[in-house]
Structure 1
Amino acid sequence: MSTADTSMGNGDAAAPGKEPLAEMSLIDHLTELRYRMFVSVGSIIVAAIICWFLSEQIYNILVQPVTRVLEAYPDEIPDARLAILSLTEAFVVYLKIAATAGLFLASPILLAQMWLFIDPGLYRKERLYALPVILASVIFFLAGGAFGYLVLFPVMAGFFINLGVSGNMLPLLSANALFGFLLRTLLGCAIVFEWPVVVFFLARMGILTARTMLRGFRYAVLAIFVIAAVVTPTPDMATQTILAAPMLGLYALGILIAWVVQPRKK
């Protein structure tokens, strides 16, 4: 990773502006990895502690989509509050909220540490991508989480609650189960939205090209709907399409990114 052979992109090591930095031994790599992991884990812990003191406020924000759906059935659901089914459930819910919110809060540091780990193995010219890539990674990660909260989760919550109410069932929603579902949705969307960044690295290394992505578009559409079906466990195509649509947009953006950054044949 730290030699010219493992640097992103292809080119002559002697070309101007492409001189790789000094090589690192395996021990140096492991030491660097340990340090980056220490900083990453430490940043998550600190961010989670901060979010713990704000967990009640974060809870009140995150629960709003479900509350709005429950309040739409005043006759069938007289109480729109979530239920705690064990003595420690409220504590576990706040712990999950603090940990997940801490992950999102620390995401700029985490993504920066990932880049800094591979930075020693890059050519000098490639290091110019550092700031744009880190910023793009953070923006896509947060945008994915926002999409999951503002768009996808409300639709899924409405579908499942309406399914139960229409079947003459009384929704008794466990706070722990609901927030586990919500937080998985947010993280899943955040990870999916990192696709353009993944394409950037694959294209720079010459592993993926815009032409390959165009040729595989039909298979990509199939894969996207499979992923959407996994992330949104609802049987209706409408909900799956809500997630698949931005994923198709991200795939198209990935084609453009690959075309721009892929190594050119001389």
Structure 2
Amino acid sequence: MAKKKNKKNPDEMSFLDHLEELRWHLIRSTLAIVIIGCVAFSMKGFIFDTVLLGPKHMDFPTYRFFCNIATYFGIESGFCADTLPFTLQSRTMAGQFSAHIWTSIWAGFIIGFPYVLYEVWKFISPGLYEKERKNSRGFIFIASFLFFTGALFGYYVVTPFSINFLGTYVVSAEVLNEFDLSSFISTVKTSVVACGIMFELPIIIYFLTKVGLVTPEVLRKHRKIALVVVLIVSAVITPPDVASQIVVTIPVLILYQISIYISKRVIKNEEKRMSKKAPKSS
């Protein structure tokens, strides 16, 4: 009977062994994305008509919410219109089929994000101390929660603002708004994925602090620079109006403050661990 192959000790693994380990984590992550993407591909009606094209219709929950607020205060609002004044079109032979495939792949990545995180965690966790692994057991849940919260924020807040602003903006009555399908999908995808990744800021700061690249003092010192970066990112993923950029900036600044607290806690725990290891003077 063949003996079962034992898993190698991370401390004894060579650089090539680590690369091989990483390769299998990437293969499993890609396979999960493809499988979920195939399921999404078979749900074309729901993915496109309900999810992607939902913000194109004025009965979308975000439009109704802001319309009700405007009506309550007696203010005229573009959120109360009957329809958005633009149409979608596909101008290439394979345009709709290509959009179907790529949308399914992105859906596979977004829905399968927790499993991708799981594979990432399996790769990096052997390099942590036992106590650190125990304290980080909620990593996948917290990181997934932050990502999906950001994705929902991007879909229900950033996307409607972008589509409503850009879809109604005209430079002349002579110019019709007839957008390509790929451009519309790109707007939705960018808003959702970018916000999902931005909401991972506390997790990113946690690991940067662990490896010594970031400290609470650095985060506080460069708070103004961080604000400028956030405003630039907000300008990229939102339409060029002040209201939309403020809507995106506020939660990111809150996450930045949380990240400072997390970085402070990491440094404090590291100092406690080092003090316990230090030899006591006689």
Please confirm whether the aligned pair reaches a TM-score higher than 0.5, indicating the same fold.
yes
The correspondence of residues 8-47 of structure 1 with structure 2, limited to 5 A, is 22-47=11-36
2:75 corresponds in structure 1 to none
1:264 corresponds in structure 2 to 271
- Select the structure with the greater relative contact order (CA < 8 A; seq sep ≥ 6): 1
Match of 2:88 among 68, 82, 96: 82
Q: Quick check: which has more Rg, 1 or 2?
A: 2
| Residues 49/129 of structure 1: CA separation in 2 closer, same or farther (3 Å cut) | farther
Distance 1:53 1:88 in 2: 18
Amino acid at match of 1:24: M
Deviates more, 1:81-90 or 1:121-130: 81-90
Amino acid at match of 2:146: F
Query: Deviation per CA, 1:113-153, whole angstroms, max 9, x where unpaired?
Result: 11111112111111113431111111111111111110001
Amino acid at match of 2:44: S
- 1:56 and 2:61 matched: no
Deviates more, 1:248-257 or 1:237-246: 237-246
Give how far 1:206 is off: 2.9
1:72 corresponds in structure 2 to 81
Match of 1:159 among 155, 165, 169: 165
The correspondence of residues 111-190 of structure 1 with structure 2, limited to 5 A, is 111-164=117-170, 167-168=172-173, 169-190=175-196
Provide the secondary structure at the position in 2 that maps to 1:173.
Answer: strand
Provide the secondary structure at the position in 2 that maps to 1:87.
Answer: coil
Distance 1:246 1:62 in 2: 24
- 1:249 and 2:254 matched: yes
- Unpaired runs of at least 5, structure 2: 1-8, 64-78, 276-282
Q: Is the 8 A contact 1:115 1:130 kept in 2?
A: no
- Unpaired runs of at least 5, structure 1: 1-19
| Residues 81/235 of structure 1: CA separation in 2 closer, same or farther (3 Å cut) | closer
Q: Is the 8 A contact 2:159 2:187 kept in 1?
A: no
Distance 1:32 1:21 in 2: 10
* RMSD of aligned alpha carbons: 2.2
Query: Deviation per CA, 1:135-189, whole angstroms, max 9, x where unpaired?
Result: 111111111111111000100111112212x742432122222102211221111
Distance 1:236 1:71 in 2: 19
Q: Is the 8 A contact 1:141 1:194 kept in 2?
A: yes
| Residues 99/71 of structure 1: CA separation in 2 closer, same or farther (3 Å cut) | farther
| Residues 71/220 of structure 1: CA separation in 2 closer, same or farther (3 Å cut) | closer
1:206 corresponds in structure 2 to 212
Provide the secondary structure at the position in 1 that maps to 2:260.
Answer: helix
Give the number of equivalent residue pairs: 242
Q: Is the 8 A contact 1:145 1:189 kept in 2?
A: yes
Give how far 1:23 is off: 3.2
Give how far 1:207 is off: 2.4
1:236 corresponds in structure 2 to 241
Distance 2:16 2:10 in 1: 17
Give how far 1:256 is off: 1.3
Q: TM-score, normalised by structure 1?
A: 0.83
Distance 2:20 2:217 in 1: 39
Query: Deviation per CA, 1:240-263, whole angstroms, max 9, x where unpaired?
Result: 121111111110110111111222
Provide the secondary structure at the position in 2 that maps to 1:131.
Answer: coil
Q: Is the 8 A contact 2:87 2:178 kept in 1?
A: no
Amino acid at match of 2:54: Q
| Residues 130/54 of structure 1: CA separation in 2 closer, same or farther (3 Å cut) | farther
- 1:106 and 2:112 matched: yes
